A = this chain, B = another copy of it.
Amino acid sequence: MAQKIISRHENIYCPFLAQVLYDFTAEPGNNELSVREGETVTITNQSIGGGWVEAQNSRGEVGLVPEDYIEVSYIVTRFPFLTGSVSLLQATNGNDPWSAWNADPSGGSTNNWASNPEGTQTGKSAPDPWAPVSHGHPQAYQGPGAEDDEWDDEWDDMKSTGGYAESEAGESGALQRGGSHATSMKISLNKFPGFSKSGPELYLLCKQLVKGKDRLPIYVGEVGPVWSYPETQLDCVVADPKKGSKMYGLKSYIEYQVTPSTTNRPVNHRYKHFDWLYERLLEKFGSAIPIPSLPDKQVTGRFEEEFIKMRMERLQGWMTRMCRHPVVSSSEVFQLFVTYKDEKDWKMGKRKAEKDETVGVMIFSTMEPEAPDLDLIEVEQKCEHFSRFTKSMDDGVKEILTVGHEHWKRCTGPLPKEYQRIGKAFQNLSSVFTSSGYQGESTLTDAMTAAGKTYEEIAQLVAEQPKKDLHHLMETNNEYKGLLGCFPDTIGVHKAAIDKVKEGDKLVAASKITQQDKVTMAKRASTMSYALQAEMNHFHSNRIYDYNRVMQLYLEEQVKFYETIAAKLRQAHSQFTTM
């Protein structure tokens, strides 16, 4: 079993030639393919998951091979012009993912995942959930050791699910995004985040589109193109975290109860299951829909109550956002996650989801806009507009996070200390006064002591207030920061498609594609644009809802805060005698 616990990567959805690096002997009945070192195979499906790829040997035999055992050679058979796509990948996945549209170097914005300037700030001992952390790309390689997280490693399910050992191994392999592959895995294209979602040619030029039940219609509503929304919105409650342990207590984990509003029947999921779902959604929808990453795994104090509460709150936030998305929430994989009936159902659903081929840019092949085709200029303008908007909003959100973070530190640090010192100073002077021996000053000293205590209470209120209001403002903005961080990739796919369509005449002239291919590409770019517009409209509608709600909450709590202080001070004031 151990040899199957290997890394899995972003998937590349076109057939590659690959060199076999090491001998591999297939286990009978496992759909595996035996290969020998030095042999050349064609990768027929890289989106198998669990560290496996589907390969075809020179004899035409097809089967699964561990992806660590092969090295892709980049020679593409179907679309010769794809060899030129490396520069495209670099352009859209370079240092500044926003730079494709926004060339202003003085913008003052931090780019999303390159160099990570926020990371230069060091963490404080006080728990500040928004202390700048390395907020990497959702798909970014989390570095060796990430899989050492005891919650998620391959061991901690072994004992209870021994009967499903093979599947579990696949599952846990799917969650490993570091470790062994860092040395043995040679598919270096995977180092370019977002690669899986670029290469839009796969969709732009593919021969047949998906029809039937997977069809995703796009309507034109009042605000423009919109997804098809269900009549009742799915909702999920993530609750009741329970600590479990494995390996005679050596390994432990937290299991959350997820209850969807449709069935009202709870299912249990560990963080690693959420992560599996995230991987599937990213793979399937990431080219068209920004899939925000899960809350960070790497947090200290993992069994402390506060941490569990915080992670649950963020998992809830993530689930709510997924539920709210009509395309995501109605997908088979998401429905599986929230409504699986039993262990067998879950395992089978997982297998199926991992084999889904309508992933990456191919998701666009399921989309059917009920509207006339857009010309390329309009497509490009829309794309540029969205890019600018999401970039600006990213800046705005980060500004709020920075300011809020500063404010959080002040409200929980120096400010309450100062109020406490004021309170102490009043009380100290009051007790000096009490020692005067002068008659009849107890009214003054009692009142001064009370005033001092009031300021100590205010100190407490000040220190606790951020949890009541700033917390939500920060959480919402943090969520949007994550969401906005996905847009450069999503928009990059569109930008790449637009560039490819622009090359149409040249490609026809060079006989690399036919005139019909060119027309098809333009039509499909229009479909992609409708998808982007539908997604942006979905984003805007959610954004308006979320910010309206969080601003109201923030101001409401702020009003209460200041009113409470005023009332306390009024009470303190009343204890002094009016002379």
Contacts and interface: CB of A to CB of B under 8 A. Distances in A.
Contact of A555 (B223, B414, B569): B569
A410 interface: yes
A246 B277 CA distance: 88
B579 A447 contact: no
A559 B570 contact: yes
A451 interface: yes
Contacts of A577: 548
B569 A562 contact: yes
Interface in A548-579: 548-549, 551-552, 555-556, 558-559, 562-563, 565-566, 569-570, 572-573, 576-579
A273 interface: no
Given A407-B422, A418-B410, A562-B569, A545 B428 contact: no
Contact of A573 (B399, B439, B559, B565): B559
A113 to B, nearest CB: 21
Interface stretch (A57-65, A310-318, A429-437): A429-437
B552 A573 contact: yes
A164 interface: no
A-side binding surface: helix, strand, loop or mixed? helix
Interface stretch (A176-184, A334-342, A385-393): A385-393
A-side interface size class: 35 or more
Interface in A389-409: 389, 392-393, 395-397, 399-400, 403-404, 406-407
Contacts of A396: 425, 428-429, 432
Given A439-B223, A547-B448, A400 B425 contact: yes
A569 B559 contact: yes
A448 B552 CA distance: 10
A395 B428 CA distance: 9
A425 B438 contact: no
- Which 5 pairs between the two chains have the least Cβ-Cβ distance? A562-B566, A555-B573, A438-B540, A396-B429, A396-B432
